[in-house]
Structure 1
Amino acid sequence: MKLVGLKFHLGSVLIHSRELRPIEDSYPTGIELDLAWHKISQKAWESCMCYPKLGIALTYWGFDNKEVLGQGITGLFYIEPVFNTKGRVNYSVRAGLGLSYQNSPYDPVSNPDNQSYSTHIGFPLQLGGTVHFRIKSRWLLNGTLVYNHISNGGVRQPNKGINWPSLGIGMAYYLKEFEFKKRAVKNWRDLGPPQKRWDFTFFIAYEEPRDNLFLLSPGLEIKWSRQFARVNAYTLGGEVMYDNGTGFVLDQNGDESSPVKAGMAIGHEFLLGKFLFSQQFGVYFSNTNPMHSDVYQRYGLVYRITKNFSTGISLKAHGHVANFLDFRVGISL
């Protein structure tokens, strides 16, 4: 079932590094246009005992600091499970990622204070929740709290990112009259044994450490996943990659160490039908890059084409600084 929406946001930029002092007291405002498909089938219901939405959100952001941060436009693909749909008030959780355009990147001469982004193209992430109040059968009033992030995925430095929570209020409208069917809430264990998977994933990361130098870094991840609740699973895995970005740093320092990096990570997955949204915390046992800490995080969105094949993207970060965005394909057993 299709619906369209309009929403207004007000946020506040978070200062997580002393280099970002020039942008403190910045309050971004945004106007969001939304197009979503609300799944109402029995199969969709069984994926989460809820009715999930898939959507596209296009948002214009004024970052309240024209001289440094300028303005931006984000385009997000999101997944949003919606609960209590039979009630007049229902709620949802949204996870989204996509592409963005910012008009005022770092420049050593004209904009040296912008340590947040150095490319016009970025990769936004969004995570948050919404309360929906049904005014009429096809009209909703929405109140939202989300956490927003934009960075270039470590493609070019500086890349401290823009991080801001925002409050939003808006309206949504279903294009057709319909009714959510009341369906039985079953114990997730009654639908079958807990899901267990071994994932073997090849990924390739892209970086541009300086102008006209384009580096690709291949890697392999092996991960085990086990479901422990209706839409939750825990994971344990390891990865190894030939990190050409690290190789560039080592060459600049005259260091002949190997650029191969390896680590192990524990994590969590949201199981949303054919989509998996993952978060991992990892520790390196081989890390020769002096600019990277020995711990890292990964945030990924994967689409399972079939039971055994998947594709998606993942963002790797060290603390509050993104390292790279990778594209991945996997086999599950």
Structure 2
Amino acid sequence: MQTLSGQKKITINQSDKSKSIEAFYQNGRLLQTNSFVRGHNSFHESIDDFQAFSLRLKWHTNSSKLWEQVYNNPEYGIGFFMGNFDHSPELGNPIAVYGFFSSPIFKTNNFSINYDAGFGLTFNWESFELGQNANNIAIGAEQSVYIDLGLKLKYQLSENWSIGAGVSFTHFSNGALKKPNMGINTLAPKLLLSYDIIRNQKNIINDKIPPFQPKNNLSVSSYFGLKNVLYEGNDVDTTVANKGVYYPIYGLSNVIERQLTYKSKIGLGMTFGYFGAANSILTAKNGKLIKNNASLKDGFEISIFPSYELLVCKVSLVIQPGLYIYRRKYENQTPRFYQRIGLKYNFWSKYFVGINLHAYNFYVSDYIEWHIGCCF
């Protein structure tokens, strides 16, 4: 880890960092991104309204590390989320556990503007099921991913109390691990109240952050995923049809990157992949589903993409909009232009693992990629 010039030597343990409890309430709207929320449900009404409550435990960084200074002493922690929708009998009342990161864009002694990012797992959905909840094409499983992005204004009322307001976009999806999975998307304002249970102002003082020296690298990773396909016939049990089958997805991704700052990398990449569901025929025999994976020739794909990576300590947010430049035609083919967004964790200096959501039309999940790779 690069050190800082002019650094005052103060030993700070994790227990020395300030800790807060924060609660926020939201009341907003569902984005009408699929037919289920637009009214194709048992109530024959659009699902418009959404409200939620969240409780967070957060730690305040204190400039003891370079990345903390680069991000202007951000906050991070864990949160518990409870949501409620119109027509909850068909959707359920989701509960999420998530980690979050919040960094100031602008701040004074008592006021700050911050951006928030949260990522976790959601439970307690009433998911799609043939014969019982067949209208719910939005959520295909009882579990999903929770992704939350937002902005907030925060004001320090007193030594320990803060209030604030903001807005956030929240996406619920299982990454198409279980179909159908059109997802739930919400946009909602929020009000928050925060209390510092441990307040410590012991910060390391630095003359300045050292200039960053740009550098180049080649990132190479292999990935694996699964594509869920449901059976549309009526000659098998509904449980079997609802489960469907899983086709393999795997490949190799290569990115030539240049790290411009402590925070950002840009690059250009190419993926060579295999899509097992291409031109595959799903049939049934004796109550069981029979799949035939695509041949290597039929399933082979090549795509190119620009890449952006936001670096926060050892964790990175990866954004890669891509374009297929070669693949064979097959039925129900997704658009040539796709979007990949994910998280990457760096370890042992040059190795990393990651998880990416592969989507199209900017909101429809196609499948999840699990990556392991190395930087040269």
TM-score normalised to structure 2 length: 0.79
Answer yes or no: is the 8 Å Cα contact 1:315–1:326 preserved in 2: yes
- Structure 1 280/60 Cα, relative in aligned 2: closer, same or farther at 3 Å? same
Task: Give the alignment partner of residue 312 of structure 1, picking from 354, 358, 364.
Answer: 354
Aligned partners of 2:86 and 2:298: how far apart in 1? 44
Question: Is contact 2:125–2:143 with CA below 8 Å preserved after alignment?
Answer: no
From 94, 108, 116, the equivalent of 1:72 is: 94
2:144 is aligned to 122
8 Å CA contact 1:299–1:314 kept in 2: the answer is yes
Aligned-pair identity (%): 20
Q: In the superposition, relative to structure 1, how do residues 194 and 90 fare at CA in structure 2: closer, same or farther (>3 Å)?
A: same
Correspondence for 1:243? 275
CA RMSD for the aligned pairs?
2.5
Cα distance between partner residues in 2 of 1:304 and 1:277: 11
**Residues 311-320 or 282-291, more deviating:** 282-291
Q: Is 1:205 aligned to residue 225 of structure 2?
A: yes
1:294 and 2:336 aligned: yes
Secondary structure of residue in 2 paired with 1:16: coil
Question: Which residue of structure 2 aligns with residue 263 of structure 1?
Answer: 303
Q: Is the 1:314–1:325 Cα contact (8 Å) retained in structure 2?
A: yes
Distance 1:39 1:163 in 2: 31
Larger Rg: 2
Hey, what's the Cα distance between the residues in 1 that align with 2:204 and 2:110? 14
Residue 215 of structure 1, CA deviation = 4.0
Task: Return 5+ residue gaps in structure 1 as ranges.
Answer: none
Structure 2 letter corresponding to 1:193: Q
Q: Which amino acid aligns with 2:103?
A: P
Q: 1:110 to 1:329 in 2, by over 3 A?
A: same
TM-score, reference length from structure 1: 0.89
**Any idea what SS the aligned residue of 2:30 has?**
coil
Query: Who is 1:217 aligned against?
Result: 249
Q: CA deviation at 1:34?
A: 0.8
Partners of 2:207 and 2:253 lie apart in 1 by 36
1: CA distance between counterparts of 2:185 and 2:33? Answer: 9
Paired residues, number: 329
Paired amino acid for 2:341: Y
Amino acid at match of 1:199: S
Report how far residue 328 of structure 1 moved.
1.9
Indicate the SS of the match to 1:258. helix
Other-structure match for 2:26: 9
**Unmatched segments (≥5 aa) in structure 2:** 1-16, 40-44, 231-242, 284-291
Alignment correspondent of 2:212:
192
Displacement of 1:235 in angstroms is 2.3
Which amino acid is 1:282 matched to?
Answer: G
**Could you tell me how far 1:168 is from its partner in structure 2?**
1.2
**Post-superposition shift, 1:230?**
5.0
Amino acid at match of 1:149: H
Does residue 1:285 correspond to 2:335, yes or no? no
Q: Tell me whether 1:29 sits opposite 2:72 in the alignment.
A: no
- Report deviation, 1:67: 3.6
Q: Which amino acid counterpart does residue 357 of structure 2 have in structure 1?
A: L
Q: Is the 8 A contact 2:151 2:167 kept in 1?
A: yes
Q: Which moved more, 1:283-292 or 1:164-173?
A: 283-292
Q: In the superposition, relative to structure 1, how do residues 284 and 185 fare at CA in structure 2: closer, same or farther (>3 Å)?
A: farther
Q: Secondary structure at the match of 1:51?
A: coil
Structure 1: which amino acid aligns with 2:311?
Answer: L
Deviation at 1:180? Answer: 6.5
